[in-house]
């Protein structure tokens, strides 16, 4: 566990293919600081980056510009894609063409094949939007999709959650699940911030391993 400062934030965002990370934040600026640093790092080293959001593309492009990311240029170069994901097929969108949680894995898998040997980074602010709409079941669906996508070669993922909403009973019950499925996490708050380099379920030793160690201890008192 390490304190999260500017240096450690950069280190936290230096992910390897297969990493499935999460950031819990209190303030919106902390969400963007972390997600956009993850995006910027990826573009800097030549990764192809996908940003998953509920917002429209122009708004995200504008926000990225405030953090020094030339989103339009990166999009023209084919290194950045901003995907607006629907939580339902209502409205004026054509459901056959819309990206939803249900077909998100297919879309990402297609992108992973298109990048031709380069690594793919996925930054997602979708969890906070789902929290806002109190869609706990959709969170479970999304995280299962992301967990499956993380198994793809050359893919790393960073998801963002609003920690203040986890104080609600319905969301607090999900906290153990969220920390179990992610490999590492950052917790950013006004009272201090830390990086947890190893989340996930605790490592359990087999019965044979316990016996083996006990045997060695008995042999060498």
* CATH code: domain of residue 102: 3.40.50.300
Q: Which domain holds residue 116?
A: 2-219
Report the pLDDT averaged over residues 1-8.
Answer: 46
Q: Read off the pTM.
A: 0.80
The DSSP line for the chain is: -EE--HHHHHHHT---TT-EEEEEESSHHHHHHHHHHHHHHHHHTT-EEEEEESS-HHHHHHHHHHTT--HHHHHHTTSEEEEEEESSS-TTS-TTT-EETTTHHHHHHHHHHHTTTS-EEEEE-HHHHHHHTT-HHHHHHHHHHHHHHHTSTTEEEEEEEEGGGGGSHHHHTTHHHHHHH-SEEEEEETTEEEEES--SSPP---HHHHHHHHHHHHH--
Model pLDDT for residues 10-39, shown as the tens digit of each residue = 678 888 888 889 999 988 888 898 999 999
Residue range 41-45: mean pLDDT, rounded: 94
Give the percent of the chain with pLDDT over 70: 80
* Predicted local confidence at residue 13, as pLDDT: 85
Q: Is the pLDDT of residue 75 over 50?
A: yes
What is the predicted pLDDT for the residue at 4?
45
Q: Where residue 200 falls among pLDDT bands split at 50, 70, 90?
A: low
pLDDT at residue 206 greater than cutoff 90 = no
For position 148, what pLDDT does the model report? Answer: 87
Which tens digits make up the pLDDT trace of 78-123?
999 999 998 764 444 444 457 888 888 888 888 878 877 789 999 9
What does the pLDDT look like over 120-179, one tens digit per residue? 999 999 999 899 888 888 998 999 999 888 877 789 999 999 988 888 887 888 888 888
Q: Please check the confidence at residue 201 and state whether its pLDDT lies above 90.
A: no
With a cut of 90, say whether residue 44 has pLDDT above it. Answer: yes
- Region 32-55: mean pLDDT is 94
Average pLDDT over the chain, rounded to an integer: 80
For the chain, how many structural domains are there in total? 1
């Amino acid at each position: 566990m390490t304190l999260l400062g500017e240096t450690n934030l950069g280190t936290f965002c230096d992910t390897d293919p297969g990493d499935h990370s999460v950031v819990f934040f209190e303030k919106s600026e902390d969400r963007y600081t972390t997600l956009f640093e993850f995006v910027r790092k990826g573009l800097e080293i030549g990764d192809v980056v996908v940003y998953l959001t509920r917002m429209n593309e122009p708004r995200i492009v504008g926000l990225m510009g405030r953090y020094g990311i030339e989103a339009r240029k990166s999009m023209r170069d084919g290194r950045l894609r901003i995907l607006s994901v629907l939580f339902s097929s209502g409205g004026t969108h054509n459901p056959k063409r819309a990206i939803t949680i249900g077909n998100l894995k297919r879309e990402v898998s297609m992108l992973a094949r298109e990048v031709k040997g380069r690594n793919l980074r996925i930054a997602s602010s979708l969890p906070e939007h789902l929290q806002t709409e109190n869609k706990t079941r959709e969170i479970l669906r999304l995280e299962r999709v992301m967990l499956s996508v993380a198994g793809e070669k050359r893919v790393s993922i960073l998801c963002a959650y609003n920690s203040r909403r986890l104080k609600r009973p319905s969301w607090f019950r999900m906290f153990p699940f969220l920390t179990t499925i992610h490999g590492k996490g950052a917790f950013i708050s006004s009272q201090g911030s830390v990086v947890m380099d190893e989340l996930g379920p605790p490592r359990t030793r087999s019965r044979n391993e316990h016996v083996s160690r006990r045997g060695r201890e008995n042999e060498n008192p």
